[in-house]
Chain A
Amino acid sequence: MRYLYRLSALTTFAVAVVTVSAQQPDAKTTTASKAWKQPKTPWGDPDLQGVWPSQNMIGTPVERDRKLGTRAVLNDEEYAKRVAQQKRGDFSGTLRPEGKFSLAGGWADSGKANRQASLVVEPADGRIPALTAEAEVREAARKKHWQQKHDSPDTWMDLTTWDRCITLGPVGSVIPSAYDSGQEIVQGPGYVVFRSEMIHEARVIPLDGRPHASPEIRSWMGDPRGHWEGNTLVVETTNFNGNIFVGAQGGGFGDPGAVATDQLRLTERFTRIDEGTIQYEVTVDDPQTWTAPWKIAMQLRREANYDHIDEYACHEGNIFMHDALAGARVTEKNAAQAGVQKGVN
């Protein structure tokens, strides 16, 4: 109940920030309030340090409802529906709002309802652009395989990079997850380190203008280079390995997004717009996967009860991988025995 009250109290603030950002997503236009002054590090860079979870954005869909067209901001009725959805998803405390108590354990955190229609703000319809013809074929094969094997894997390769605790990639690590959406920025002279709670990522971003690594060098998280444009940190990342899903988190069947090629290029902008908020934007460009670049914009906010990031033991001692593979074998064995029984009878 206390949480719901807090949710309600924060809504007004959230609406104000989101309305500005959804309509004018560029960092240049998300200016700070007059009373607030951008703090600087001792060596003179804009100070972005701190823990900035993306948790508040849970409940904002990656792609916009087609019915909204190019309207980036929810009206009062649509907003009321989102508030109601957030309340239904709020498992804080000991009872559901309606007093039910069941096996459902509230896996997911709830966000703070806002009026931003979608995380995707460009193109204007708030939807990820169409795939290229080549990517259509690739994605159809990937999704078919996922449908066939994900719930009963033959090998760890049948599971996503998220399941396998490898990575969510730079975009998937930042956009809100159902849980563990902690993000942290740590700065030093010449470097910014961006930590993501899920899955235990630390992107070390040099600011000294050095060139990207050789095109022969490829990695899951790519090769980031940063520079300042006023108070905005701009990070360009290339040299991906061609295995990163970009879009909704995880890359399951039906999730918006696709596995990008090694031609993926990300341009991220981090702008602190007040004491407790960073405006985050990322432009995704991979001409071999999407027919046009697209952009996500959202806010990373300080949370009173989220002031540090816990260590991430993603494999939980490899329990999931063991359980998924062992479970699939038991399922197969049971099915085979049922088949024998059927034959006997």
Chain B
Amino acid sequence: MARKLAGFVLACLAVGTPAWAHHSFTAQFDAKKPVTLKGTVTEVEWINPHAWIHMDVKGDDGKVVNWMVETGSPNILLRRGFTKKSLEPGTAIVVQGYMAKSGENKVNGGSVVFPDGKQLFLGGSNPDDPGAK
């Protein structure tokens, strides 16, 4: 299913055995399937323990699909530089993260890039991400 959805780049990287984290990353997401999503924010759920960004992503076939991006907790996002206005509906964003093992349209978000080039961490939970070392 993931391969049919364009609009994102799927790259397989060899990574180590992930360690444990709350809501085990490895039970929920696939560290071997990093993904980049380009689209626009449709909704944000500012809830503990993980906020969720909903975004529309247009595939190569022109079809728009809504994706869910798991992030860190709201107070983590606050400390990473987000404000309540950072992710208003319609905001164009590029999210990097990891695909859900279930194959559904969900990712664990690692970082986001805004149109002005600003980058912020999303509180991604892959403990073996190269940047987590």
A interface residues with partner B (beta carbon < 8 Å): 3, 91-96, 100-107, 109, 150-153, 159, 162-163, 177-180, 182, 197-199, 250, 252-255, 305-306, 310-314, 316, 319-320, 322-324, 326-328, 330-331
Is B3 at the interface (CB under 8 A from chain A)?
Answer: no
Q: Which of B79-133 contact A (CB under 8 A)?
A: 79-81, 96-98, 100-104, 106, 108-111, 118-127, 129-132
| Candidates A163, A306, A313; contact of B24 at CB < 8 Å | A163
Q: A105-B71, A163-B24 are in contact. Are A323 and B100 (CB under 8 A)?
A: yes
Minimum CB–CB distance for A201 against chain B, Å: 13
| Candidates B52, B121, B124, B127; contact of A316 at CB < 8 Å | B52
Q: A179-B72, A316-B50, A316-B52 are in contact. Are A323 and B102 (CB under 8 A)?
A: yes
Most chain A CB within a 10 A radius of its CB, from B29, B45, B50, B68: B50
Q: Are A320 and B47 in touch, CB under 8 angstroms?
A: no
- In the complex, the chain A residue whose C-beta lies closest to that of B112 is A105
Q: Are A179 and B81 in touch, CB under 8 angstroms?
A: no
CA distance A94 to B70 in the complex (A): 18
B interface residues with partner A (beta carbon < 8 Å): 20-24, 26-30, 34, 45, 47-50, 52, 68, 70-76, 78-81, 96-98, 100-104, 106, 108-111, 118-127, 129-132
Q: Are A107 and B123 in touch, CB under 8 angstroms?
A: yes
Chain A residues within 8 Å of B119, by CB:
94-95, 101
CA distance A314 to B73 in the complex (A): 11
| Candidates A104, A151, A311, A324; contact of B48 at CB < 8 Å | A311
Q: Are B27 and A327 in touch, CB under 8 angstroms?
A: yes
- In the complex, the chain B residue whose C-beta lies closest to that of A53 is B75
Given contacts A96-B131, A105-B71, A313-B48, 5 further A-B contacts (CB under 8 A): A92-B81, A103-B130, A105-B97, A316-B49, A327-B28
CA distance A255 to B21 in the complex (A): 11
Q: Are A306 and B48 in touch, CB under 8 angstroms?
A: no
A-B contact pairs, 10 of them (CB 8 A): A94-B121, A101-B111, A102-B130, A109-B76, A151-B26, A180-B75, A312-B48, A313-B47, A323-B100, A323-B101
Q: Are A91 and B96 in touch, CB under 8 angstroms?
A: no
| Candidates B29, B48, B70, B78; contact of A180 at CB < 8 Å | B48
Chain A residues within 8 Å of B125, by CB:
105, 107
Most chain B CB within a 10 A radius of its CB, from A107, A252, A305, A316: A107
CA distance A224 to B102 in the complex (A): 41
Q: A103-B98, A162-B22 are in contact. Are A94 and B110 (CB under 8 A)?
A: no
Q: Are B131 and A331 in touch, CB under 8 angstroms?
A: no
Question: Shortest 7 CB-CB distances between A and B: which pairs?
Answer: A105-B124, A327-B101, A102-B131, A104-B131, A103-B110, A326-B102, A252-B20
